[in-house]
Amino acid sequence: DTEVTQTPKHLVMGMTNKKSLKCEQHMGHRAMYWYKQKAKKPPELMFVYSYEKLSINESVPSRFSPECPNSSLLNLHLHALQPEDSALYLCASSQGDRTNYGYTFGSGTRLTVV
Partner 1 sequence: EDQVTQSPEALRLQEGESSSLNCSYTVSGLRGLFWYRQDPGKGPEFLFTLYSAGEEKEKERLKATLTKKESFLHITAPKPEDSATYLCAVQALAGNNRKLIWGLGTSLAVNP
CB of 36 to partner 1, least distance (A): 12
Q: Should residue 1 be labelled a site residue for partner 1 when binding is judged by CB under 8 A?
A: no
Q: Is 66 in the site for partner 1 (CB under 8 A)?
A: no
Residues 14/80, Cβ–Cβ less than 8 Å: no
Stretch that binds partner 1, among 13-21, 48-56, 63-71, 73-81 (CB under 8 A): 48-56
Contacting partner 1 (CB under 8 A), which of 27, 73, 80, 88?
A: 88
